Amino acid sequence: MSARTGRPPKISRADIVSAAHRIIDEEGVSGLTMRRLAREVGTTPMALYHHVQDKDELLQLLLDDYASGMPRPELPDGEGERIVVAAVAMRQALIGVPWTVEVLRADDLVSVHALWYPETIIDAAVRAGLTPETAVDLYRIIWHYTAGEISARAAAGRRREGGKPTYRSRLFANLDAAELPRLAALGERWEELTARDTYEKGVRAIVQGLLPMSASS
Amino acid sequence: MSARTGRPPKISRADIVSAAHRIIDEEGVSGLTMRRLAREVGTTPMALYHHVQDKDELLQLLLDDYASGMPRPELPDGEGERIVVAAVAMRQALIGVPWTVEVLRADDLVSVHALWYPETIIDAAVRAGLTPETAVDLYRIIWHYTAGEISARAAAGRRREGGKPTYRSRLFANLDAAELPRLAALGERWEELTARDTYEKGVRAIVQGLLPMSASS
DNA sequence: ACCTGAACACCGTTCAAGT
DNA sequence: ACCTGAACACCGTTCAAGT
């Protein structure tokens, strides 16, 4: 039908996106630059700008692509438990790609494919007896908690592999026991205690604190 | 006493830190570059490296400087309420300087002056009957929640002033009501609902969900 | 001891030109 | 229509030299 004219394309958006995924997997988001990406695809940096508007659009594309593969777990009957399961799945999906949280936070980048999680959580909350408004509050509180946990986890990972002289442990070793008795008492154990995975515990606390008694257990 | 020799210094660490604060206040963290900082101080970029090891150390210095001015509110008697007050104060202190959260998250940068908050929260939790281990869990859950909330808030602010075509509202306008009924029903109201400040509500939920019944109210 | 200048190895993006 | 090359306006940091 349409009169396709002009030079045939050498690269496609799909090529670009998959190359970007490869780079991120191997070198992290910080390794993803337009120039590095061009090398991976086998073109010049400027050829990319013919397929995406700018780096932000590229990240959006990447996010959509990833979100479409996020798992949707089986949901249990109880409303409170359903929220916990959805939240844990959401966090699990993000844990492998912490850069998405950075991108999500950095701008108004949301993917349609990821909306199953808020939908599920808000639906369960309403069924448990909350108003839609309060259900949105519950979801947002869980989201903020999740985003913060993922970021802290990612930073901790970087710290470990960076092998820096652990400023934190030096700090904890020299605490003034008179001013900060609890922290001083914990001392050495801080590292070990903060390594524990307490995500689900937090979600359960939030759910229990916000859902009507009967539904939260 | 000591034989101070050599060329007298033109700039000090204090000069650098205060100039950095000025830049951040006016242009945000992203505006803080070694070159821009050198211009503000009135030297060359390389002169800075004589006073700080690298940009990371500079950020650490900045954080310490800011943390030393963080307010320590009057604490109420009830343990649960004490935790809420400390958390709200911590968040309030960070809200004006969201870049600190980005720095804190980005690496193992903690400041001694900011440790009053975890100390207070953990102490109240232990007094309420939690084991030290569980008290640390409670603190970390609150911290993750707080960090996530601050980041989301900072991103939302950037979004508003950036005046981008609000991808999010376009997304919400075109939702499939069959697949995402709750979100579709919320539709237009999403923007308004997510603008509400629900931080304290979240902290209360976490406290109520984790403290023994008697102490949390 | 403290500061400077030139340089290295990078960024994202614009602009004008080529096929 | 799609791609290229050169260029602009940036980064953090190293290195050798100046006072």
Q: What is the pLDDT of residues A91-145, one digit of tens each?
A: 999 988 888 887 776 555 567 888 999 999 999 999 999 999 999 999 999 999 9
- Separation in Å, CA of A54 to nearest CA in chain B: 14
Domain ranges of chain B: 13-67, 79-215
**Alpha carbons B23 and B140: distance in angstroms, whole number:** 31
Could you read off the pLDDT of B108-151 as tens digits, one per residue? Answer: 556 778 899 999 999 999 999 999 999 999 999 999 999 999 98
Q: Which fold has domain B79-215?
A: Tetracycline Repressor; domain 2 (1.10.357)
- Decide if A98 touches B, using CB distance below 8 A: no
Q: In this prediction, what percent of chain B has a pLDDT beyond 90?
A: 59
- Dig out the tokens for B97 from the structure: 């300087």
Could you read off the pLDDT of B38-59 as tens digits, one per residue? Answer: 999 999 999 999 999 999 899 9
Inter-chain touch B115–A175, beta carbons under 8 Å: yes
pLDDT of residue B195 exceeding 80: yes
Strands of A115-204, DSSP E:
none
Mean pLDDT of B95-115: 75
User: From the Cβ of B50, is strand D under 7 Å away?
Assistant: no
User: From the Cβ of B9, is strand C under 7 Å away?
Assistant: yes
pLDDT at B59: 92
pLDDT at A163: 57
- Cβ atoms within 10 A of the Cβ of A72, count? 11
3-class DSSP state for residue B211? coil
- pTM equals 0.91
pLDDT at B98: 81
C1' nearest to CA of B5: which nucleotide?
A: C1
pLDDT of residue B1 exceeding 50: no
pLDDT of residue B105 exceeding 70: no
Inter-chain touch A119–B182, beta carbons under 8 Å: yes
Interface probe, candidates B111, B141, B200, chain A, greatest A C-beta count within 10 A: B141
**Alpha carbons A106 and B102: distance in angstroms, whole number:** 11
pLDDT of residue B184 exceeding 70: yes
pLDDT at A7: 77
Mean pLDDT of A156-184: 77
Could you read off the pLDDT of A74-94 as tens digits, one per residue? Answer: 999 999 999 999 999 999 999
Q: Which residues of A touch B144 (CB under 8 A)?
A: 145, 148-149, 152, 202
**Alpha carbons B88 and B197: distance in angstroms, whole number:** 12
Q: Which fold has domain B13-67?
A: Arc Repressor Mutant, subunit A (1.10.10)
Q: Which of B192, B146, B171 is nearest to A133 (CA)?
A: B192
